[in-house]
Amino acid sequence: MPGQAEVWLMDLPPRGVDHVGRPVGWPGRHLVAKAAASVSCRATGQACRPRKQLDSRARCLDCGAWWTASQVAHHAAVARSNVSVGIDVEDRRHRPAAFRRASRWCGVALSAAEQWTQAEAVWKAMGAGRRTPNDSEIPLNESWQVGWQLSRDSQWWIYTTGQPQPWSLAFPADDGNPPNLIFRSTTVAADNLTKGA
Protein backbone atom coordinates (compact mmCIF):
# COMPACT_ATOMS: atom_id res chain seq x y z
CA MET A 1 0.00 0.00 0.00
CA PRO A 2 1.45 3.41 -0.91
CA GLY A 3 2.23 5.99 1.73
CA GLN A 4 0.38 9.24 2.17
CA ALA A 5 1.30 12.90 2.36
CA GLU A 6 -0.97 15.81 3.18
CA VAL A 7 -0.17 19.13 1.48
CA TRP A 8 -1.29 22.67 2.24
CA LEU A 9 -0.68 25.38 -0.38
CA MET A 10 -1.16 28.81 1.18
CA ASP A 11 -1.37 32.37 -0.03
CA LEU A 12 0.24 34.47 2.68
CA PRO A 13 -0.60 37.98 3.81
CA PRO A 14 2.11 40.59 3.20
CA ARG A 15 4.60 41.08 6.02
CA GLY A 16 6.61 43.96 4.61
CA VAL A 17 9.95 44.05 2.82
CA ASP A 18 13.56 43.88 3.94
CA HIS A 19 16.26 46.49 3.35
CA VAL A 20 16.70 45.45 -0.31
CA GLY A 21 13.00 45.23 -1.13
CA ARG A 22 12.44 41.46 -0.85
CA PRO A 23 9.25 40.27 0.87
CA VAL A 24 9.83 39.34 4.53
CA GLY A 25 8.84 35.74 5.17
CA TRP A 26 6.92 34.11 7.96
CA PRO A 27 8.85 31.66 10.17
CA GLY A 28 8.35 28.05 9.04
CA ARG A 29 7.25 27.04 12.54
CA HIS A 30 4.29 29.44 12.22
CA LEU A 31 3.28 27.91 8.89
CA VAL A 32 3.55 24.36 10.29
CA ALA A 33 1.60 25.36 13.42
CA LYS A 34 -1.18 26.84 11.28
CA ALA A 35 -1.49 23.68 9.19
CA ALA A 36 -1.20 21.41 12.26
CA ALA A 37 -4.05 23.24 13.98
CA SER A 38 -6.33 22.36 11.06
CA VAL A 39 -5.97 18.56 11.37
CA SER A 40 -6.14 15.96 14.12
CA CYS A 41 -3.14 14.17 15.52
CA ARG A 42 -3.19 10.52 14.51
CA ALA A 43 -2.46 9.46 18.11
CA THR A 44 -4.57 11.78 20.27
CA GLY A 45 -7.34 13.13 18.05
CA GLN A 46 -6.33 16.64 19.19
CA ALA A 47 -4.33 19.10 17.11
CA CYS A 48 -0.92 17.78 16.02
CA ARG A 49 2.01 19.18 18.08
CA PRO A 50 5.02 19.34 15.74
CA ARG A 51 8.32 20.45 17.25
CA LYS A 52 11.60 21.21 15.53
CA GLN A 53 14.23 18.46 15.78
CA LEU A 54 18.00 18.95 15.97
CA ASP A 55 18.33 18.43 12.19
CA SER A 56 15.71 21.20 11.60
CA ARG A 57 12.90 18.85 10.58
CA ALA A 58 9.65 19.00 12.58
CA ARG A 59 7.95 16.00 14.16
CA CYS A 60 4.72 15.64 16.14
CA LEU A 61 5.41 14.91 19.81
CA ASP A 62 2.45 12.50 19.96
CA CYS A 63 1.96 10.64 16.67
CA GLY A 64 5.47 11.06 15.24
CA ALA A 65 4.24 12.59 11.95
CA TRP A 66 6.91 14.49 10.01
CA TRP A 67 6.22 18.10 9.01
CA THR A 68 7.98 20.33 6.46
CA ALA A 69 7.39 23.87 5.23
CA SER A 70 8.64 26.29 2.61
CA GLN A 71 7.70 29.78 1.44
CA VAL A 72 8.57 32.38 -1.11
CA ALA A 73 7.14 35.90 -1.24
CA HIS A 74 3.42 35.45 -0.50
CA HIS A 75 3.17 31.69 -1.12
CA ALA A 76 3.82 28.76 1.21
CA ALA A 77 3.67 24.97 1.10
CA VAL A 78 3.42 22.68 4.14
CA ALA A 79 3.32 18.87 4.23
CA ARG A 80 2.72 16.14 6.82
CA SER A 81 3.53 12.45 6.44
CA ASN A 82 4.25 9.34 8.49
CA VAL A 83 7.77 9.24 6.98
CA SER A 84 10.39 11.93 6.47
CA VAL A 85 9.13 14.34 3.84
CA GLY A 86 10.47 17.51 2.25
CA ILE A 87 8.70 20.33 0.42
CA ASP A 88 9.85 23.46 -1.38
CA VAL A 89 8.10 26.31 -3.19
CA GLU A 90 9.84 28.96 -5.29
CA ASP A 91 9.06 31.76 -7.69
CA ARG A 92 10.36 32.04 -11.25
CA ARG A 93 13.19 34.50 -10.61
CA HIS A 94 16.18 34.40 -12.94
CA ARG A 95 19.01 33.17 -10.66
CA PRO A 96 21.94 31.95 -12.78
CA ALA A 97 24.48 31.87 -9.91
CA ALA A 98 22.11 29.88 -7.68
CA PHE A 99 21.35 27.42 -10.51
CA ARG A 100 25.09 26.89 -11.15
CA ARG A 101 25.66 26.15 -7.46
CA ALA A 102 22.67 23.80 -7.26
CA SER A 103 23.81 22.07 -10.47
CA ARG A 104 27.02 21.11 -8.67
CA TRP A 105 25.05 19.78 -5.69
CA CYS A 106 22.84 17.67 -7.96
CA GLY A 107 25.39 16.54 -10.54
CA VAL A 108 23.08 17.64 -13.36
CA ALA A 109 22.43 21.00 -15.03
CA LEU A 110 19.55 22.86 -13.35
CA SER A 111 17.81 25.54 -15.36
CA ALA A 112 14.24 25.75 -14.01
CA ALA A 113 12.65 26.74 -10.72
CA GLU A 114 10.93 23.34 -10.67
CA GLN A 115 14.34 21.61 -10.54
CA TRP A 116 15.42 23.90 -7.71
CA THR A 117 12.29 22.89 -5.75
CA GLN A 118 13.09 19.22 -6.35
CA ALA A 119 16.62 19.66 -4.98
CA GLU A 120 15.41 21.51 -1.88
CA ALA A 121 12.60 19.02 -1.21
CA VAL A 122 14.90 15.98 -1.44
CA TRP A 123 17.54 17.69 0.70
CA LYS A 124 14.97 18.46 3.41
CA ALA A 125 13.53 14.92 3.32
CA MET A 126 17.06 13.54 3.72
CA GLY A 127 17.27 15.46 7.00
CA ALA A 128 20.33 17.35 5.84
CA GLY A 129 18.85 20.82 5.47
CA ARG A 130 21.14 22.43 8.04
CA ARG A 131 24.29 22.00 5.97
CA THR A 132 25.38 22.79 2.43
CA PRO A 133 25.28 19.75 0.10
CA ASN A 134 28.45 18.23 -1.32
CA ASP A 135 28.86 18.03 -5.08
CA SER A 136 26.48 15.46 -6.64
CA GLU A 137 24.95 14.62 -3.24
CA ILE A 138 21.34 15.37 -4.25
CA PRO A 139 20.23 12.63 -6.70
CA LEU A 140 18.17 14.57 -9.24
CA ASN A 141 17.44 13.42 -12.77
CA GLU A 142 18.64 15.26 -15.87
CA SER A 143 15.13 16.61 -16.47
CA TRP A 144 12.00 17.14 -14.45
CA GLN A 145 8.37 16.37 -15.23
CA VAL A 146 4.99 17.37 -13.88
CA GLY A 147 3.71 14.78 -11.42
CA TRP A 148 5.67 11.92 -9.85
CA GLN A 149 9.13 10.75 -10.85
CA LEU A 150 11.81 8.74 -9.10
CA SER A 151 15.10 10.35 -8.14
CA ARG A 152 18.25 9.34 -10.03
CA ASP A 153 19.12 6.78 -7.31
CA SER A 154 15.47 5.53 -7.08
CA GLN A 155 15.41 6.30 -3.34
CA TRP A 156 12.94 9.21 -3.52
CA TRP A 157 9.60 9.90 -5.12
CA ILE A 158 9.44 13.53 -6.20
CA TYR A 159 6.16 15.26 -7.04
CA THR A 160 6.56 18.49 -9.01
CA THR A 161 4.21 21.04 -10.50
CA GLY A 162 4.37 24.64 -11.58
CA GLN A 163 0.93 25.61 -10.30
CA PRO A 164 0.18 27.95 -8.65
CA GLN A 165 3.93 28.43 -8.01
CA PRO A 166 6.70 25.90 -8.78
CA TRP A 167 6.76 23.42 -5.89
CA SER A 168 7.97 19.90 -5.18
CA LEU A 169 7.48 17.27 -2.49
CA ALA A 170 10.00 14.47 -1.79
CA PHE A 171 8.98 11.18 -0.17
CA PRO A 172 10.98 7.95 0.43
CA ALA A 173 10.50 5.36 -2.33
CA ASP A 174 10.39 2.45 0.13
CA ASP A 175 7.64 0.35 -1.43
CA GLY A 176 7.99 1.31 -5.09
CA ASN A 177 4.71 3.21 -5.28
CA PRO A 178 4.30 6.99 -5.10
CA PRO A 179 2.33 8.17 -2.07
CA ASN A 180 -1.23 9.38 -2.21
CA LEU A 181 -1.42 13.16 -1.95
CA ILE A 182 -4.23 14.75 0.05
CA PHE A 183 -4.60 18.47 -0.49
CA ARG A 184 -5.80 20.45 2.51
CA SER A 185 -6.78 24.07 2.74
CA THR A 186 -6.59 26.63 5.48
CA THR A 187 -7.17 30.35 5.56
CA VAL A 188 -4.12 32.36 6.55
CA ALA A 189 -4.31 35.86 7.97
CA ALA A 190 -1.48 37.86 9.50
CA ASP A 191 -3.04 37.89 12.97
CA ASN A 192 -3.50 34.13 13.15
CA LEU A 193 -0.06 33.13 11.87
CA THR A 194 1.50 34.09 15.19
CA LYS A 195 -1.08 32.36 17.41
CA GLY A 196 -0.16 28.96 18.79
CA ALA A 197 3.31 28.87 17.32
Q: What is the pLDDT of residue 188?
A: 58
pLDDT of 1 > 80? The answer is: no
Q: What is the pLDDT of residue 193?
A: 57
Angle ∠(165,105,117) on CA atoms, nearest 5: 10
* Band (196; pLDDT cuts 50, 70, 90): very low
The mean per-residue pLDDT over the stretch 163-168 comes to 91
| Closest alpha carbon to 187 in 29, 23, 11, 37 | 11
pLDDT of 46 > 50? The answer is: yes
The mean per-residue pLDDT over the stretch 158-183 comes to 92
- The pLDDT mean for the chain works out to 89
Residue range 131-159, pLDDT digits in tens? 899 999 999 999 999 999 999 999 999 99
Q: For 159, list phi and psi in degrees, rounded to 5.
A: -100, 130
Angle ∠(16,195,39) on CA atoms, nearest 5: 115
Contact of 151 with 122, CB cutoff 8 Å: yes
Distance CA 10, CA 105 (A): 29
Q: What is the pLDDT of residue 89?
A: 95
The mean per-residue pLDDT over the stretch 175-180 comes to 88
Q: What is the pLDDT of residue 139?
A: 97
Residue range 68-122, pLDDT digits in tens? 999 988 889 999 999 999 999 998 888 899 999 999 999 999 999 999 999 999 9
pLDDT of 189 > 80? The answer is: no
Cis peptide before 133 (omega within 30 of 0): no
Q: What is the pLDDT of residue 76?
A: 92
Specify the amino acid at residue 105: W
